[in-house]
Amino acid sequence: MPARCPRVAAIEILCRWQGSEEPLDGWLAVGLARLSPRDRNLAQAMLLGVLRQRGLIDWLLGELSTTPLPRLRPEILQALRLGAYQLLFLDRVPESAAIHATVEAVKQLRQPRWLAGFVNGILRNVARRGRELMALAAGQAPPEALYNHPAWLIDRWRKRYGEAGLTRICQSNHLPAGLCLRINTAKISPSDYTELLSSRQIPWRWGRYLPEALWLTEGGAVEELPGYGEGYFWVQDEIAQMIPRLLRPCPPGGWLDACAGLGGKTAILAGMLPPEGSLVAVEPQARRQRLFAENAARLGISGVSMYQGDLAAFRAGPGGVFAAVLVDAPCSGLGVTGRHPDIRWQRHEGDLARYQARQLAILRQAAELVGSGGVLVYATCSTEPEENEEVVAGFLADGRRFARESAAGSLPPSAQALVDGEGFLRALPGGPTGDGFFAARLRRVDQG
């Protein structure tokens, strides 16, 4: 993908993402690769900002354009969104510069001259009337614009959490996500790493629950943080760092990370593993396998056996019996829509049943690999009951010899408030943990 300037790159990425069902992260990796670090940061900030504020931006553009937005060419619609975001939310970009640069990007994308003029006219109207319309939005705009989430999700969250809970979650998702680090204590102590940050005048604060977790209070490129190349840390939300702890206590034996992804939780498991233990990581996607290997090399993780395939193939192939199995299941990701704002616009309510069926299938496969007395942990980064407690209930209703155990016994005292009355580890966006997560601890009570 050619990238001549950050706005061209941003428009191209938005067009390609909109026409696919793929996560934005993959398009960012390709589309921003040829930009300078400064331009890459600007393009990414604009992209994520557009997606966080898309509902409001689209309502405002619809008020100013005589052409309905769905009838616009993808390049023109994304250029208008990008320009409007700069005018309304990026104070450091002068209005004239934002309009000129966006119109020039449209020209570089080889759109007809009259469409460049159309974009210029709409954006000038945004500059003149945008803030006036934003002030009127509270009384005139639909919920999708006010909350910057799709209507179906707004309705669900309002019914479950009430108006105050809905507002808290959506407002949290509008803000740039905080950056939480997990310190790689195999290479550096948390206190030594904080001294390194302070010496570079990088603001930070300790995590709320774990001594290995710390939050950066200002943004920036992860690769430019001190110690990145040396493997002193990896990026992982604090509650996600707690989920591997739910495997303990468990009987002696091997451990299995059944859905390893990029390896963040695998890295924690490797550090928790008893000296006589073994750890297998299962990951079917080639891109994630490659990134997993890169992360493992950077962090100095060894002793992990990677199986390059899905869990069904692993069970039918090498398989085995494990004392502890972690299923960090593929899910809708609706708990991390602040960190990944593209998710909210790609999901539909009907997707939840499809995710549930897949999650149940994976959990049932994983259960066949758990030995007598062994522990099975099921986790998602979703807020929705169809993917969380309903999956657990459906799994236990099969008559399998598993019992639910409270997560409280595996967590430090500081995290006990995150365990609900059913013993599940649960967090919502807008709370003290950052993202939304769910986890359940299950134990095999009878092998025979």
Residues labelled catalytic: 381
DSSP states along 34-68? TS-HHHHHHHHHHHHHHHHTHHHHHHHHHHH-SS-
Residue 122: which of 102, 148, 92, 146 has the closest Cα?
Answer: 102
The letter for the amino acid at 136 is L
Neighbours of 257 (CB within 10 A): 28
Is the dihedral angle over the CA atoms 214, 220, 222, 224 positive or is it negative? negative
Q: Would you give the distance in Å from CA 286 to the centre of its chain?
A: 19
CB-count exposure of residue 163 (10 Å: 0-12, 13-18, 19+): exposed
Q: What are phi and psi of 362, to 5 degrees?
A: -65, -40
Query: Are 200 and 212 within 8 A, CB to CB?
Result: no
Q: What are phi and psi of 374, to 5 degrees?
A: -75, 165
**Measuring CA to CA, how many Å separate 158 from each of 35, 138, 170, 288?**
41, 17, 11, 35
3-state secondary structure 289-318: HHHHHHHHHHHCCCCEEEECCCHHHHHHCC
The letter for the amino acid at 436 is G
Give the count of alpha carbons within 13 A of 385, CB side only.
7
List Cβ neighbours of 92 (8 Å cut-off, separation of 6 or more).
Answer: none
